[in-house]
Chains A and B, each alone.
Chain A
Amino acid sequence: RKEVEQDPGPFNVPEGATVAFNCTYSNSASQSFFWYRQDCRKEPKLLMSVYSSGNEDGRFTAQLNRASQYISLLIRDSKLSDSATYLCVVNRGGSYIPTFGRGTSLIVHP
């Protein structure tokens, strides 16, 4: 089983749609979790951290489920500019090495 797994997609949605991605991780000792965004193979940029209590930033909501070992990202009211690859990042438990999932591709169309 891979350390961090994501559905590569692509998720093809119309503007205004709500879309959700999940990411599963294998190491139960993992302690910190993030979502990054990558555009056209440019450098990844932090979208948001994921806290145990869940967190929201505008149209974006992130959740952590430790029991089932997954994190999720919900995007409401999708914009064309949300089209990108969304990378799930989990710090490898014990060594704090950020481990990236392969990414989920989102395409928002008019």
Chain B
Amino acid sequence: NAGVMQNPRHLVRRRGQEARLRCSPVKGHSHVYWYRQLPEEGLKFMVYLQKENIIDESGMPKERFSAEFPKEGPSILRIQQVVRGDSAAYFCASSRGATNEKLFFGSGTQLSVL
């Protein structure tokens, strides 16, 4: 499967714990986007990364959320001290380039905070 791989598919955390969501882009893609989707809502942009660089994090909450895309390995979205409001579907997408490129999405991680 050469598509975008996200894991885990489902993640359950208790309030105050940390959540780590992983995303491996399509082979050869160096642009990664993270989106969050709340129930009955659209996809909200969180962060755009290229290898080893955060290009735009204007959609990321200022606290508790961080993202990285290291030279080797998957992109990671990290949420510290989760709260119930963090419960959502988190989708990762990758593209080959930055300009006018279509996105390929992973199956998403459904985060549930108890």
Q: Give min CB distance, B29 to chain A, whole Å.
A: 14
A101 touches B99 (CB 8 A): no
Most buried by B among A44, A87, A102: A44
C-alpha gap A97/B103 in the complex (Å): 11
Q: Give min CB distance, B37 to chain A, whole Å.
A: 7
A98 touches B45 (CB 8 A): yes
Residues of B within 8 A of A98 (CB): 33, 45, 93, 103
Q: Does A21 contact B (CB under 8 A)?
A: no
- Contact A96 to B99, CB < 8 A, known contacts A41-B37, A45-B105: yes
C-alpha gap A102/B93 in the complex (Å): 17
A residues lining the B interface (CB < 8 Å): 31-32, 34, 41-46, 49, 87, 89, 91, 95-103
For this complex, 16 residue pairs linking A to B, each with C-beta atoms less than 8 Å apart, are A32-B99, A34-B102, A41-B37, A43-B107, A43-B108, A44-B43, A44-B103, A46-B102, A95-B56, A96-B98, A97-B56, A98-B33, A98-B93, A98-B103, A101-B42, A102-B42
